[in-house]
Structure 1
Amino acid sequence: MSPKRLCSLLLFIGFAATRFDLATTARILGFFPSPSISHLIIHAAVADTLAQAGHDVTVFGAAKNVYPNAKYKYIELERKTLDNAFIASMVQSSMSFYKQFGTFLESIATSANDSITNPRVQRFLQEHGPGDFDLVIAGYFMNDVHFGLAAHFQCPLIVSFMIQPVMTVNRMVANPSEFAYVPTLMAKQKQPMDFVARVKNLFAGIIEEMFISVFSNHLQQNLYEYNFPPDRYPPLDEVRKNVSLVFTNHHFSQGPIRPNVPNLIEIGGIQVKEKPDPLPTDIAKILDESKEGVIYFSLGSNIQGSHLTEEKIKIMFNVISKLPYKVLWKWAPNELPGESKNIIFREWLPQDDILAHPNIKLFITHGGMGSVVESQYHGVPMVGIPLFGDQPSNMANVVNSGYGLSVDYITMTEESLNSAIQDVLHNPKYKETVQKFSRLYRDRPMTPRQTVVYWVDYVLRHQGAKHMQSPAVHLNRWQLLSVDVIGFLLAIVLISAFVIIKVFKLICCCGKKNKLPKVKKAKQN
């Protein structure tokens, strides 16, 4: 080989190695400020996956690190979690979620502002600037203001979302809404939808659109301009168009079936371990020795006993204490609801690892999407007690799909709760259906973690992967609906019709004049 060719080959190898190194050792910032621990579990799983793949990952989180053995650098914002009074009002109110949505968005906006103005974050931004990070991953929870971080570091932005995409997430990447056959999350409809269901779905979509367009956008716009001044940063609308990808903790097998743009990537089950961790010794002993089966009961990471009424706590305890099974009940941090030989109370339990155990017979859950996904993945039937947010909709889908039953918290009685538990425990159809779905849910060309690594590396290799972006991102609402085109064509039709009518009238008038009898003038003497 000639020296010239050898030199060219070495240069090529060096360039390729550099490109490969850039793709595998990128500096990534994960900003996950949601006060909900269940959200942090999803977003941090993405960060942990990337750190395991060799990236240099720094994470800001609003609570203690949920993956203490992760390889990423973790910076805790030392903020309070969701306000207890606010959660209690959401749980105990009989009002629909839509009626509480305004208060909910205000609370989230306040939380988002507290995150970005946190002294640790402000000091971090002062010490780091453009070029210090190759990518920002923002955990999304109505906190568009945080997209300004990507503008600060002048790098691509990926959004991580913990459930199926809602309208505001779809809008980031111009994912089509398709109200005629795609149910919105809060509409609680199942495909295929009949006429009545489509009417309900359209109204739910309009209400959601109004809240997002008018209320949430106004709040986020004000917060963004305050924290990222227009003299130094691009406007929020432009920053939103910088979203390279959206990772959504959802999978098409869960439904609804819908079209997705190329840069909306499904990673449903990202928080589920491909191989469960060893259980604590005492929990493992209980599960291994209970051949008749064990029931697992958890109302999620955000709900505490103080959020529930004494009446409902008593109902749950009275029913569960009479069951002929051991029950692992996550309960924190309040006084125990009672004592029973069959109930083992713990302030914290490794939910994913417990649900993976073959002796788990039933999962009594609040219906959070993370919990539902883990139960579906491991093939465990459910009884849901949904409390607020997307939980009623999630459990409606569980019931419609045949994976379990749901009990309304407000109207719950001992009879209704016990009836649901007994039905799911003794009717094999629920277990068979959810286990069949479990096999379907796991059948993918790549695992969620492999999917995350591939697409993040793809965005890094292609400097933001703008070629994946839908052109619809750059159109306004009227252009998306083709109102301007329809108006233009309608104007042409109307003008043409006007001209034709005028010409026709002119022709008719001329014809009439020609047909009029000529009047002979009288001869003058």
Structure 2
Amino acid sequence: MKTHSERILGVFPFNGKSHNNVFNALMKSLAKKGHQVDVITHYPLKNPPKNYKTIFNLNGTRPDYVNNISIKCLSQECGDPISFFAIVAGNEICELLSLQEMQNIIKNISDDPPYDLVITEVFGANCYIGLGSAFKIPVITIAPNIELPWTGDGVGSPTASAIYADASLDRYTALTFWERLKNTVHSHINKYRYFIYTEKAQTEAMRKYLSPDIPSIREIERNVALTFVNSYHHPFGMKPSTPGLIEIGGIHIEENDSKLTPDLERWMNESTKGFIYFTLGSMVLIETLPEETLLAMYQSFSKISPIRVLMKIADKTKLLPGLSENVRTSSLIPQIPVLKHENIKLFITHGGMLGIQEALYYKVPMIGIPLFSDQFRNVETLVSKNIGTRLDYNKITQRSLDEALNAILNDPKYREAAERESRLFRDRPMSPMNTATFWVEYVLRNGENSLRSPAVNLHWWEVALLDVYGFIILSFTVLIYLVIFIVKVIIRSCFKSSTASTQVNKKID
């Protein structure tokens, strides 16, 4: 069934550059399908397709994270992930609703036709889900990473802590009793802390900037029609979920149109012995690593020549001198074409979800150096599947890096595992892009309640059947107590009868 052209509003107020690669891929696809797509973002498209329009550029309204985070920040200054999600990427982002341009859109000052759907991020600022209530239209959310403990709440998807490791743990799965206990406690504590941090602040923001009559943030979160998660069960872990939670991991890869510069392409083509690509993502600066760590890397990279190394360095003037001739640095590297190149042998990564998916898609084994949040779990996934190895950023030595490089470059099991997991990651009924657009149009055709699970109206302990199990245990306890009581009464009665009979017989004698 064909969906008529609809008017869709995409609101992506958190300035995470990698996150927006996922959002832009979906919004471009919907525009190409003929829908009118309006987007609020920090990262407007340079060459948008027809029907795609950036109606509010948020660039400059928040501190810029791109190439602006040091290793020192991660180890000393930047706080724990939950407070970051809830406050920096949550409550503070909700205040952008106060901007005049945002208010004009909310109040439809332009008198444009009304929107049919809102698509926004589920990460920290769930207050933007309230736009659905303000406009009286369905809301679809997108998680840019694996599920956080609260990601699936809007569609009633279970946390499944018995088998699915919490995003902030450095584990791929939970198997033993103690692992499941730690995972469950950790997940509930993280969710509780997030709720405590956001309950009052985000409810007040919605009532101040959207409508004074809007329900609380916890009630608003239950109005989600559909949630997309930028993950896939191969290799990131299987868990039960409701039909309203759809995995679209890799959606940004297939139709990526970034190009190599002629100079970089020539360098890669000439790397006939192969090359390694090394980056710590769009935010963290390699050049801020401790001197001893950088010098250890320089020595290790020089040893593997003629294999070459391509390093993403934002400011080469801040890098220690001494790089060997087989190392090339650049501030701007189109990552997907690099990982796609036939001469690449290894990807050294911080473990961000997008980079891992890209390397996995193109069968590239990895060395993971996790720095923050879900990156530890992501890298542990690589290790558990033999797709790569892990190094701790604060414990890197020349010896540890030598061993990691030697293992990946010379042991075929890593390349073979990458090829196997790549097949599993790609093997789906539909591509991630077609999957996402189908379900968006499904909601447009059938309404916001078409995928709604009854679980959204239950407390977590009701979904876990703790009340049912408690009742059963209580019933058995009462039953056992009654049986014991009755048996005692019968025994006592029999004993009394026996005693009385004995006394009668004595009197007769």
Identify the TM-score tier after normalising by the shorter chain: 0.7 to 0.9
Answer yes or no: is 1:156 the counterpart of 2:150: no
Compute the displacement of 1:412 (Å). 0.6
The Cα offsets for residues 132-175 of structure 1, whole Å up to 9 and x where unpaired, read as 21111111222222211111111111111122223211333222
Match of 1:294 in 2: 275
1 CA distance for matches of 2:65 and 2:82?
A: 15
> What residue is the counterpart of 2:389 in the other structure?
405
Residue 285 of structure 2 corresponds to which residue in structure 1?
304
Deviation at 1:84, TM superposition (A): 8.4
- What does 1:17-36 correspond to in 2, within 5 Å? 20=2, 23-36=3-16
- Say whether the 8 Å CA contact 1:91–1:307 is kept in structure 2: no
1:477 corresponding residue in structure 2: 460
Aligned twin of 1:39 = 19
| 2:422 counterpart SS class | helix
**What is the CA–CA distance in structure 2 between the aligned matches of 1:24 and 1:331, rounded to whole Å?**
46
Instruction: Give the counterpart of 1:437 among 410, 421, 424.
Output: 421
Separation in structure 2 between the aligned mates of residue 513 and residue 94 of structure 1, nearest angstrom: 81
- The structure-2 alpha-carbon separation of the partners of 1:168 and 1:100, relative to structure 1 and needing over 3 Å to count, comes to closer
Query: Paired residues, what number?
Result: 491
Q: Does 1:144 align with 2:123?
A: no
| Alpha-carbon distance between aligned partners in 1 of 2:218 and 2:86, rounded to the nearest angstrom | 19
Alignment partner of 1:115 out of 96, 108, 131: 96
Structure 1 position 355, deviation (Å):
0.9
2:217 counterpart of 1:240: no
Contact 1:41-1:66 at 8 Å conserved across structures: no
8 A Cα contact 2:316 2:329, kept in partner: no
- Residue 186 of structure 1 deviates from its aligned partner by 3.4
Following superposition, the deviation at residue 410 of structure 1 comes to 0.7
Counterpart residue type for residue 280 of structure 2 = L
**Structure 1 residue 452 corresponds to structure 2 residue 436:** yes
Which residue identity does 1:206 align to in structure 2?
A: V
Residue ranges of structure 2 left out of the alignment (5+ in a row)? 505-509
Tell me the TM-score normalised to structure 1 length. 0.84
Describe how 1:325-474 pairs up with structure 2 within 5 A: 325-333=307-315, 335-337=317-319, 338=321, 340-464=324-448, 466-474=449-457
Partner of 1:35, secondary structure, is coil
Alignment of 1:193-272 (within 5 A): 194-195=175-176, 198-213=177-192, 215-229=193-207, 231-272=212-253
| Partner residue, 1:15 | none
Q: Which runs of 5+ in 1 are unaligned?
A: 1-18, 520-525
Q: 1:82 is matched with which residue: 65, 84, 109?
A: 65
Q: Percent identity?
A: 31
Change (3 A) 1:305 1:150: same
The residue aligned with 1:279 is 260
Amino acid at match of 1:404: G
Q: Does 1:133 align with 2:115?
A: yes
2:91 touches 2:198 (CA, 8 Å); kept in 1?
Answer: no
CA distance in 1, matches of 2:272, 2:464: 59
- 8 Å CA contact 2:120–2:128 kept in 1: the answer is yes
CA shift for structure 1 position 90: 4.7
Q: Is the 8 A contact 1:35 1:111 kept in 2?
A: no
The change in CA–CA distance for 1:398 and 1:66 in structure 2 (over 3 A counts) is farther
AA partner of residue 303 (structure 1): V
* C-alpha distance in structure 1 between counterparts of 2:346 and 2:327, whole Å: 14
Deviation at 1:205? 2.8
**Counterpart pick for 1:168 among 143, 146, 150:** 150
> Post-superposition shift, 1:54?
1.5
CA contact 1:131–1:154 (8 Å) conserved in 2:
no
Give the TM-score normalised by structure 2: 0.86
